[in-house]
Amino acid sequence: MATRVKLSGRTAVVTGAASGIGRASARLLAQRGCPLVLVDKDEAGLAETAEGLTVPVMTRTMDVSDRWAQQQLAAEVKDWQGPIGLVLNNAGVTVSQTIAESSSEDLEWVMGVNLWGVVHGTQAYLPILLEQDSGVIANISSIFGIIAWPTQAIYNASKFAVKGFTESLRHELHETNVSAVCIHPGGIATNIVNNARIHQDDLGRTDPEALRKDFEKVAKTSPDKAAKTIVEGIEKGKVRILIGPDAVATDVLARTLPVNYFSVIRKLQPLIRR
């Protein structure tokens, strides 16, 4: 049986907090009385997230791929507002390009934020959580950490890596009161595609406008709904959280057809493009 987790009143660290899931999660955690540490590269977006919150708030404009910056911030947070209840490693970016035409620059960008941001965030706060013998590290993977998708190889690689990293951590923490949670959102109505690096190839497989329209059609879960699923799931003691009906369906499809799942998806693609 899962052990319930108390978040209320405990400090929460949220990366990617300037918009989307990060902003919605921060505001929901504020309703639970959690002092907030909000991290993002978007200073203006951070200010918008923090506006009107009635809990103590620390904002930090920072690139999560910067290991030293993460370590410095964790040292400040340790003695800031009492015990840390949650570290939500949420910051994420994506690129759309075929493997044959992908650049090392895009690879380093996506891995820097999506994977190294998670790794550095985990390693910065884990010693603190172990010392206080409580707390949750929650890492955002994706449904693309469950299945692979053409033109999303770099993003897939980062999100599969987050899944493996987080599950390994969960096993290592088995006999402690610290838990590791892996989160797999489906289509969430955020700015991730608008902020993506989309490179159009000669065959039109990565047409920017088509991709944005397709994303709008499948991104049916709001950030507020995603945040509610995350926070309530963590409080219930879940260690694997699927967000949205598409995430649940994707998980079932991957389990049922672990090799041939894309044969089903391919048949559905014309429906998405209508």
Whole-number pLDDT of residue 211:
54
The CATH label, of 3.20.20.70, 3.40.50.720, 3.40.50.1000, 3.40.630.30, for the domain at 11-272 is 3.40.50.720
Residue of 116, 125, 144, 155 marked catalytic: 155
Classify residue 271 as exposed, middle or buried by CB count within 10 Å of its CB (0-12, 13-18, 19+). exposed
Q: Please state the rounded mean pLDDT for residues 209-216.
A: 52
Selected residue with higher pLDDT from 147 and 2: 147
Helix (H, G, I), strand (E, B) or coil at 258: coil
Q: Please state the rounded mean pLDDT for residues 86-106.
A: 91
Whole-number pLDDT of residue 43:
96
Report whether pLDDT(204) > 70: no
Whole-number pLDDT of residue 189:
46
Q: What whole-number distance in Å separates Cα of residue 132 and Cα of residue 106?
A: 38
At residue 193 the predicted structure's pLDDT band, cuts being 50, 70 and 90, is very low
Whole-number pLDDT of residue 214:
55
Q: What whole-number distance in Å separates Cα of residue 141 and Cα of residue 159?
A: 5
Which range has the worst mean pLDDT, 2-6, 68-72, 115-119, 137-141? 2-6
Q: What whole-number distance in Å separates Cα of residue 92 and Cα of residue 113?
A: 6
Where are the chain's structural domains? 11-272
Selected residue with higher pLDDT from 96 and 132: 132
Report whether pLDDT(197) > 60: no
Whole-number pLDDT of residue 271:
41
Whole-number pLDDT of residue 254:
93
Q: In what order do the strands lie in the sheet with 11-15?
A: 57-61, 36-40, 11-15, 84-89, 135-140, 178-185, 240-243
Q: Please state the rounded mean pLDDT for residues 210-232.
A: 73
Whole-number pLDDT of residue 222:
85
Report whether pLDDT(99) > 80: yes
State yes or no: is 261 an active-site residue.
no
The beta-strand segments (E) located in the chain are 11-15, 36-40, 57-61, 84-89, 95-96, 135-140, 178-185, 197-198, 240-243
pLDDT over 70, % of the chain:
85
